[in-house]
Structure 1
């Protein structure tokens, strides 16, 4: 998105609107500033388009997990059901864009699968009683990373996805919550 938006904002007159797919996050609508050197806007929805040319989609969960031994058991302190909240999922995609999260409930509990598209994976299952069994493989501790992203979101008041926005300029791309001058949501 970085290079794409910057090149498009320079080609769009001040006040012009750009509606752009934002990675796996959804769409964002940016308005080009009066000086024509930056564009700012809000999340517009979770609809996504097909991936852009040259975008590495990485390997799917089953390809990473298939045949890989469990490296370690993982400890989960909190309810994984929060990972079904679209607002939290959006915030996690902003703070940890390379971690893919899927959830599946079947009446007996909730299964959560995480992977990074390369070599790390995590699986957690919470049964009806609330007991969670979790395991991970690969170099990263994905459950801990997701928990850190969840805490970051909660510490900022658990903002809904519609409160996220972005400013793009010649040498920066900044995601913010509430207002463009609020500072970056997640330091890069």
Structure 2
């Protein structure tokens, strides 16, 4: 296993993915190898479904799945056909821990224990770590692994959206799963000046600082990442289910090159910030790039490239291709801001995304609890 671990470490170095400002992270990852927190069965996507790999049956394939690469996660639990827990990719784990800016004296609350690996890394640096896991079986397994490594982590069974008020306030709070809205309980349980890092929506993670009066939190996006949603988050509808079989209500030429949308994640994040209700998927083939949009309710759009032209078909009460095009125009007129130009503000009654400046920049309502 040492060879696989070394290969991943080398790949992280080549990618510049080890945070220079937090050298403790690399040492912690070295001291707590991924494979020691992975279950004996993991899952890989074969293009159509998840396929199990058992350590006893194929140890080489199992090790390759656990140490696939800096940008590859390892699925560690399947519920039905849905992946519900994973070892997150090492590059994003390192980036989020760096964004958390933890000091050795800090008390940290982690939401989403999973295998226990992230909590273990934190425990190598922080004074105390509490971790909350909704799945009692996962919590028990993680607690055993952490204890076996001599790590003092208090693992609790509960809903991460509620935090863990018994031991609040915390200096730092980190979520290992994505939320569409930041639970206000997280701000309440973080001390003024404290920091919260969480995947937000479907594309990036944000670092929020709690205001001195504790009545708001705001901060900048920190990086691109795609995380699993909260366990009890509503299951998203599929595009075919919303599209249905009827004819489109509208058909027209689409002015932009979809290849840009397919390749540029910063553009896609700008669309997400302006229109959080839009679920966007893209693909490319010999004809060019294509896009599928839906609002998880009744509206849909299909934008296809064929014969050198790009055509938008759409239906439902909202014209999603029009909204995409308007957001694209704005992004270009604004100088093509990247993900790091965006941020989020949270108050007891409101949440909104903004660009360039939290007070004077353009802003858009975000989902809120």
- Band of TM-score, shorter chain: 0.7 to 0.9
* Structure 1: gaps spanning 5 or more residues: none
Q: Does 1:69 align with 2:69?
A: no
- Structure 1: 4+ residue segments shifted above 4 A: none
The one of 278, 283, 303 aligned to 1:104: 283
Q: Does 1:81 align with 2:263?
A: no
Q: Deviations over 1:128-170 (max 9, x none)?
A: x631233222222111111111122223222101111112223
CA contact (8 A) 1:104 1:110 kept: yes
Which moved further from structure 2: 92-101 or 20-29? 20-29
Q: Distance in 1 between matches of 2:274 and 2:240?
A: 24
Aligned residue in 2 for 1:19: 197
* Structure 2: gaps spanning 5 or more residues: 1-179
Q: Does 1:35 align with 2:213?
A: yes
Which moved further from structure 2: 173-182 or 162-171? 173-182
SS state at 1:16 partner: strand
The one of 137, 143, 147 aligned to 2:325: 147
Between Structure 1 and Structure 2, how many residues are aligned? 186
Q: Deviations over 1:50-71 (max 9, x none)?
A: 2225533431112222423333
Q: Deviations over 1:95-125 (max 9, x none)?
A: 1111111111112211211111222221122
CA contact (8 A) 1:74 1:136 kept: no
SS state at 2:254 partner: coil
Q: Distance in 2 between matches of 1:171 and 1:120?
A: 28
Question: 1:80: how far off?
Answer: 2.2
CA contact (8 A) 1:166 1:174 kept: yes
> So what's the TM-score if we normalise by structure 1?
0.86
Aligned residue in 2 for 1:175: 353
CA contact (8 A) 2:351 2:365 kept: no
Which moved further from structure 2: 173-182 or 91-100? 173-182
Question: 1:3: how far off?
Answer: 5.8
Q: Distance in 1 between matches of 2:312 and 2:217?
A: 43
**Cα RMSD (Å) of the superposition?**
2.2
SS state at 1:9 partner: helix
CA contact (8 A) 1:19 1:27 kept: yes
Q: Does 1:122 align with 2:301?
A: yes
Write 1 or 2 for the structure with the bigger share of helix: 2
CA contact (8 A) 2:182 2:346 kept: no
